[in-house]
Structure 1
């Protein structure tokens, strides 16, 4: 007999028997480390789809770029053509914008989204595929390496190492790996919306039931009853009748009007439930109906789009580049031209950023939906702002033998800068508004 204080060692699940793992998460109802999607039913709701569409479209408009920055080469944008094509053409079936929208839909509906990284024999990423799973389960091999097993809608499964998965998540709370499913919080409100919609449909259907009751004082055959009823309808209830809304019957029958008492949901209650769903998705009616102002969109962007963009930047960088490559300044960024919804006055005011080299001419032209021009990717600066650079260069070359000459040069530069600024000021004052 074995001593009671000893027990068999805990078996670590290997890739071969991945289904025996206990780490599972649920999107519909959270149970341990597993999740289940809501069978697509939430996406069938017009309110849910309207709530998430602005966010999905905005994430799809993010432009992924490969940045390499070090002391020797400086800042390089898209230095590797393979990474550039990977971000713009992730796989043969979709573009980068389409894949980002698909992943954003999964993220909004399930608070989890997965992208599979396909690598070549050298470990370099060559393709990206979204994983449309209905369930995911965390599997730990005997070596401690983490795998995720996915169940698909067609019944097939797939198991991949977590290092080859880009995992985006929201409402990251209880689970160590997965975001919390939005289904429990939305189920009650969705049931209310469904009940209200069904009530409206039934009320409309009930409008076609019996509205008049004819009581005959003598016994009549069934075909005679139908004939008299039809005669009453033809004479008094049709649009083409000549009775002018007046009806008359003899002593053989009496007519009684039946008033329908259908329950029609209160519009205030419906609007209140809709507002709760808007609040759950951190949106509002103006965002949903594209009736927002510049400031309203900026507030929505900073609260909903920018956090996802930052998460995508960090997750893509970690999964696409090794630690050594990131040490050499390689990273992925997702840029958004958030000035597209700005007013014309705001866009024109950004010409000052171009004058000072903060924006390139082509970047400014992009905000105006204009095509780039040759040489427009190089920053430019006004003459009065270039004086600072010239003075710094002169001071760095100054020594005891040329200090007087350098001082004269700096003095002339300052005078020239004052003339340029005065000229620019007079020009601005003389320009017609």
Structure 2
């Protein structure tokens, strides 16, 4: 019996369902460029050890972001985003890949996964085309995606999520990371110099002065005999020479490498470009350092990703009615125990957090009844505070009047005190 053919032949087919190419009417004209396009940068940014470490550390922190779906509309894609946006990635992997593509290329593209009907969004996939060009299709903006495998497809701009950094010259895409090329070249030159220094330092070199003039054949023979003593077979480590040489002097290898101060400037240039620092990369950051990194890098990324996914998922009418997808992180997981305790007590006592939310801060398991919100007894609704205060004041005045009347009848006071008590009431 013949074997049945698989439903899809490649990841490209699985994501795009082999769409039919549509005729284009030319490049989509923008304000700054007639033919706007985005090309994946081949400058080796992700191949350099330092820059990859910086990108990876940021991606690890960003992958902890949690999707928060709001509104009554609950599409399939939004539900899938909570755990697995596509069949090949979990949510942390999805976010981590989007972060990495954005840092390397200054542009990250996310396309929707569609069901068989071609309209229902079932998930999201971050793509990395070799080139992306904007075209006009019947007066609408479409993107032509060209992949290194040679596959091509057209996708409506409204269906594609486009995230950018350093967006200035292009109306649609980020300006690219070519500005970091000089720093990458210095880093590469430093690595080359260090390798050359190690190789040269491993070789023992001498200059030998012959005692008298020799022909070329004798010089070659003398050189080979002396060099033979420098091999690994010479266990004693002593080289000797006879009267053929009048003097032998060892040559100390000299090689140039970037000094510590210059190397520090190179590293700071890379850290500055990505908005990171050594403590973040080496996982040595304290609470204040991490909070600064979160607010400066992770939070802007989370906000942009939330708006991009929301625009891809919901219609304008659904968004107007409060439907959205946002990404948040529990920064308290990184905070000190003192900070965790202070925040948890303040928010729990005021009924803002439930018990399970406090448990999440301390990485504890949820418990029965932990979803309830409680509040401390001495707190009062602000809208009722004037009512309660007036009632209590009236009761206190009546009590004082009664005490004054008793004192008068007992001879301990006078009529004026009673009148004053009445006025107080």
TM-score tier (shorter): 0.7 to 0.9
Distance of aligned partners of 1:213 and 1:141 in 2 relative to their CA distance in 1, 3 Å threshold: same
Deviations 1:239-283 (A, max 9, x none): 535x6xxx7654332322223222232222122111111111111
State whether residues 23 and 137 of structure 1, in contact with CA within 8 Å, keep that contact through their aligned partners in structure 2: no
SS in 2 for 1:88: coil
- Give the Cα separation in 1 of the matches to 2:265 and 2:285: 20
Per-residue deviation at 1:411? 7.3
What's the counterpart of residue 318 of structure 1? 311
What's the counterpart of residue 336 of structure 2? 343
- Give the Cα separation in 2 of the matches to 1:162 and 1:338: 34
Is residue 2:166 matched to residue 1:171?
yes
Distance of aligned partners of 1:20 and 1:210 in 2 relative to their CA distance in 1, 3 Å threshold: farther
Distance of aligned partners of 1:328 and 1:281 in 2 relative to their CA distance in 1, 3 Å threshold: same
- Give the Cα separation in 1 of the matches to 2:76 and 2:134: 34
Distance of aligned partners of 1:328 and 1:24 in 2 relative to their CA distance in 1, 3 Å threshold: closer
Q: Which runs of 5+ in 1 are unaligned?
A: 1-14, 70-77, 399-405, 413-433
Deviations 1:82-131 (A, max 9, x none): 62223421111111111111111111111111111133438432121111
Is residue 2:22 matched to residue 1:16?
yes
Per-residue deviation at 1:137? 0.6
Q: Which runs of 5+ in 2 are unaligned?
A: 1-20, 397-425
Deviations 1:285-344 (A, max 9, x none): 111211111111111111111111111222222221112222322111211011121111
- Give the Cα separation in 1 of the matches to 2:88 and 2:273: 33
State whether residues 22 and 154 of structure 2, in contact with CA within 8 Å, keep that contact through their aligned partners in structure 1: no
- Give the Cα separation in 2 of the matches to 1:265 and 1:371: 52
Q: Following TM superposition, where does structure 1 have runs of at least 4 consecutive aligned residues deviating by more than 6 angstroms?
A: 408-412
What's the counterpart of residue 251 of structure 1? 243
Per-residue deviation at 1:233? 4.1
Alignment partner for residue 85 of structure 2, among 90, 95, 106? 90
Which structure's CA Rg is the greater one? Answer: 2
Per-residue deviation at 1:388? 2.8
What's the counterpart of residue 101 of structure 1? 96
Cα RMSD (Å)? 3.4
Is residue 2:141 matched to residue 1:146?
yes
What's the counterpart of residue 198 of structure 2? 204
Is residue 2:36 matched to residue 1:33?
yes
Is residue 2:66 matched to residue 1:63?
yes
State whether residues 141 and 147 of structure 1, in contact with CA within 8 Å, keep that contact through their aligned partners in structure 2: yes
Size of the aligned set, in residue pairs, is 370
Deviations 1:333-384 (A, max 9, x none): 2110111211111011122211111222222221212222222223221112
- Give the Cα separation in 2 of the matches to 1:410 and 1:346: 43
- Give the Cα separation in 1 of the matches to 2:92 and 2:334: 19
State whether residues 365 and 371 of structure 1, in contact with CA within 8 Å, keep that contact through their aligned partners in structure 2: yes
Deviations 1:66-86 (A, max 9, x none): 1127xxxxxxxx966762223
